[in-house]
Amino acid sequence: MKERILFLGPPGAGKGTQAQNLVSKCGLLHLSTGDLLRAEVKAGTSLGQQIAALMVKGELVSDDLVLAIVKHNLEGHTGGWLLDGFPRTINQAKALDTLLAEIHQPIDIVIFLSLNDDLLIERLLNRGRADDHETIIRHRLEIYHSQTAPLIDFYKSKNLLVAIEAKGTVDDIAMNISKVLG
């Protein structure tokens, strides 16, 4: 089974939901940059306060900071992993390539969870996290389309990308993910 996995997709596509499912079944390390950043905010450090000011507006946190977080968690880890919400920019993807080459852990597969904007907005409004207000969601989607969506072609050109439509039940989508993991 493929065990170095990257989940790519817009906010609300179900990356976190599917990641939880998969890591509990397969014992992979789950690295969600969103969760790790929210933990830093919760800890109330001065770095956490700076991060909170960006997250609440739906802005991206700096590439350097998220890369440092991912590096800290991946270095020394020997089993499989699932990256969720990272990378989010071409810069982050290139930095990740460099890091993974250094630690000899290439990506096995990039799963792109796709869903149309109307359904994403509906899901996120129902969830109601601090950054799930309509104007902020729309801003997160703009950032996704301009800065993150170019990663689709980036990983396609490396023959790593598999697209899965993130519509339907959580179980159906999980089954489609399992199929492509082998």
Q: Are 84 and 32 in contact (CB under 8 A)?
A: yes
Q: Which range of residues in 40-48, 73-81, 122-130, 156-164 is near ligand AP5 by CB under 6 A? A: 122-130
> For residue 11, is the peptide bond before it cis, meaning its omega torsion is within 30 degrees of 0?
no
Q: Measured at CB, which residue is nearest to ligand AP5? A: 34
Contact of 53 with 62, CB cutoff 8 Å: no
Nearer to ligand AP5, 118 or 159 (CB): 118
CB neighbourhood size of 28 (10 A): 19
**Nearest Cα to Cα of residue 7 among 133, 147, 181:** 181
88 binds ligand AP5 (CB under 6 A): yes
Q: How far is CA 171 from the centre of its chain?
A: 19
In a 13 Å sphere around the CA of 179, the CA atoms on its Cβ side amount to 9
For residues 58 and 78, which CB has a smaller minimum distance to ligand AP5 in the complex?
A: 58
Among 22, 55, 74, 82, binds ligand AP5 (CB under 6 A): 55
Q: Which of 5, 6, 8, 13 binds ligand AP5 (CB under 6 A)?
A: 13
Contact positions vs ligand AP5 (CB under 6 A) = 9, 11-17, 33-34, 37, 54-55, 58-61, 66, 85-86, 88, 92, 123-124, 127, 131, 140, 169-170, 173
